[in-house]
Amino acid sequence: MRAQFVFGEVWIGLRRNLTMTAALIVVVAISLSLLGTGLLFVKQVDHTRSLWQSRLELSVYLCSAVNPDQHCAKNGPVTASERSQIQSTLLRLPQVVSVKYQTQAQAYQQAKHLFQDEPVMLNFVQPGDLPASFEVKMKNAQADAVPVTGAVLGQPGVDSVGDDAAILTKFYALLGGARDAVIVVAIILIVAAILLVANTIRLSAFNRRRETAIMRLVGASNFYVQLPFLVEGMIAGLVGWLIATALLAGAKAGLDGLQQYFPFPVELSVGDLVEVVLVTMLIALALCGATSFLTLRRYLRV
Amino acid sequence: MIHFESVSKTYTNQSRPALDSVNLDVEKGEFVFLVGPSGSGKSTFLRLILREERPTDGRIYVAGRDLARLTNWKVPQLRRRIGCVFQDFRLLPAKSVYQNIAFALEVIGKPRRFIRKVVPEVIDLVGLEGKGDRMPDELSGGEQQRVAMARAFVNRPMILLADEPTGNIDPATSIGIMKVLDRINRTGTTVVMATHDAAIVDSMRKRVIELEYGKVVRDQSRGVYGQAY
């Protein structure tokens, strides 16, 4: 094994094939950084999802005196016995972890806090407008919301049930869609990268046909004939990966910059980034190595 | 050294065989001229020895190996024992004389110390003393063919195949080329040379095998090129 000789040949190949190699590097870099962004997205969504999972609640709103809803209007505001009935129903459910009663006064205080910067809303909302409610914590906020809602909805004294998870589900659907779009584009680009690797190696094999013809003639092993091409493809892939890593570090910084818009932590750890970067490196090596190898089998027959 | 047993070769899409039931033996250390008009099967014969082609029929033994039983990954081992020279030299234009010859050893993984020792020796053997640093385009045709012969011989092959080595070279220079081939043959290397050059064949007085339409029509020790030409 003559490492110096092999790398000398690789250097010659890369130089002669400069434009193709450059195109290959750019496509690998872009496809890997898009794929990496997609993977970071996945991680981000997972993080926020688990963060929210423990905080999501179901609000069971009770009928109040001013409630215009039909069945509330018929029954009138919730009575004390109806209220304790609802509470015990909720507590009997296996999915329910805890139930907290929020009075109309507390709801008003909360609204005042929420709307403190919006005087119009603040003036509009009066004590007694907002209904009392049970704030229900469940074991699994998303899966348990439907059975718990079903158990109390329609009971006398219950006006409606608000599900935090339903709002978040839409939010997640949005994030998931964005993530899928990024990954689909990344996959299309990876296919382009594979074709480019195949073409680059083919061109390289054509450029060096004299050398390889002589190598075969004097009895160089397949391994020796193919190695420079293989290394060439791998080096191009690795350079593309390095660029992608820089772009991904930038993307992480960008995602972290979104922190200011969220009242909860959304930052990804450096560990997440390293993981994604390693995954993309393996993909780059596998992609370039396998494609080069298969192309060579086709074009460098002994 | 080379043993053909009723070997036929028909290329796909061709009705007439390029070689037709050829039987022949070439012994170790022999010098053989392969003559015959274009398309008579000389090149096919050489390609079969190198196992660049497989015969349609028959058996071929080269250096004691049955080529039909040779697996693909052992073909390089066979080719290391065979040197090749062509009409068009096939040198690498971006490499110097020394590098061209060293290339043949580098790609089969020979250690650098060995290469540094044998390449100058073989440069001297082919008569290119002091020209190791020249580039191929700075050399005459005859000198380029000497480089090609040095490259073919540097790994001390048992067989040297030469496909019209003097085809691109004037008669005066050809004599020098033949002297080098003769020198290589005297080291015990079997030489098979396909040629159209009647003057050379006649002057060397070596074994002559004549092919016509893929058949051996003459096999003569100490022969001449032939009356028909």
Rounded average pLDDT per 10-residue block, chain B, 229 residues: 94 90 94 92 93 93 92 91 94 94 92 94 94 95 95 95 93 93 94 93 92 92 72
According to the model, what pLDDT value does residue B114 have? 94
Query: Chain A 197-226, CB below 8 Å of chain B: which residues?
Result: 210-211, 213-222, 224-225
Q: What is the pTM of this model?
A: 0.72
For B103, name the nearest residue in chain A, comparing CA atoms only.
Answer: A215
A-B CB pairs within 8 A amount to: 58
According to the model, what pLDDT value does residue A128 have? 76
Rounded distance between C-alpha atoms, residue B48 and residue B6, angstroms: 13
Structural domain includes residue B208: yes
Task: Report chain A's mean pLDDT, rounded to a whole number.
Answer: 82
pLDDT in tens, A98-121: 888 888 888 888 888 877 777 777
According to the model, what pLDDT value does residue B98 have? 96
Share of chain A above pLDDT 90, in %: 6
Closest CA to A148 of A205, A232, A213, A89: A89
In this predicted structure, the answer to whether residue A249 has a pLDDT above a threshold of 50 is yes
Structural domain includes residue B225: no
Confidence of residue A300 (pLDDT cuts 50, 70, 90): low
Structural domain includes residue B168: yes
CB contact under 8 A, B104 and A218: yes
CB contact under 8 A, A225 and B107: yes
pLDDT in tens, A179-198: 888 888 888 888 988 888 88
Q: Which of A218, A222, A224 to mutate against chain B (most B CBs within 10 Å)?
A: A218
DSSP B73: G
DSSP A260: G
- Give me the CATH number covering residue B205: 3.40.50.300
Q: What backbone torsions phi and psi does residue A229 show, to the nearest 5 degrees? A: -70, -40
Rounded distance between C-alpha atoms, residue B83 and residue B161, angstroms: 6
In this predicted structure, the answer to whether residue A264 has a pLDDT above a threshold of 70 is no
Mean pLDDT for A252-260 is 76
According to the model, what pLDDT value does residue B119 have? 96
According to the model, what pLDDT value does residue A50 have? 73
Rounded distance between C-alpha atoms, residue B128 and residue B150, angstroms: 9
DSSP string, A160-219: EEEEHHHHHHHHHHHHHHHHHHHHHHHHHHHHHHHHHHHHHHHHHHHHTHHHHHHHHHTT
In this predicted structure, the answer to whether residue A178 has a pLDDT above a threshold of 90 is no
In the block, residue with structure tokens 């423990």? A54
Count CB-CB contacts under 10 A for residue A111. Answer: 17
Contacts of B76 in chain A (CB under 8 A): 216, 219-222, 302
According to the model, what pLDDT value does residue B229 have? 46
B94 by DSSP, 3-state: which? coil
The CATH class of the A56-164 domain is alpha beta
* A300 and chain B in contact, CB less than 8 A: no
Task: Output the six-digit token pair for A224.
Answer: 């020796």
DSSP string, A103-152: -HHHHHHHHHHHTTT-HHHHHH--TTTSPPEEEEEESSHHHHHHHHHHHH
Structural domain includes residue B226: no
B137 by DSSP, 3-state: which? helix
Structural domain includes residue B138: yes
Contact B198, B229 (CB under 8 A): yes
A102 by DSSP, 3-state: which? strand
Confidence of residue A266 (pLDDT cuts 50, 70, 90): low
A1 → closest Cβ in B109, B151, B155: B109
**How long a stretch of residues is chain A?**
302
Q: What is the ipTM of this complex?
A: 0.87
Closest CA to A138 of A206, A57, A26, A24: A57
In this predicted structure, the answer to whether residue A54 has a pLDDT above a threshold of 70 is no
Contacts of B108 in chain A (CB under 8 A): 218-221, 224
Closest CA to B53 of B32, B75, B37: B75
B106 → closest Cβ in A5, A216, A221: A5
In a 10 Å sphere around its CB, with 0-12 CB exposed, 13-18 middle and 19+ buried, how is residue A202 labelled?
Answer: middle
- Residue boundaries of the structural domains of chain A: 3-52+169-299, 56-164
| Higher per-residue confidence, A226 vs A51 | A226
According to the model, what pLDDT value does residue B42 have? 92
Contact B148, B93 (CB under 8 A): no
Structural domain includes residue B228: no
pLDDT in tens, A114-164: 777 777 777 777 777 788 888 888 887 777 778 888 887 877 888 888 877
Contact B158, B63 (CB under 8 A): yes
Residue B133, domain extent: 2-10+19-220
In total, how many domains does chain B have? 1
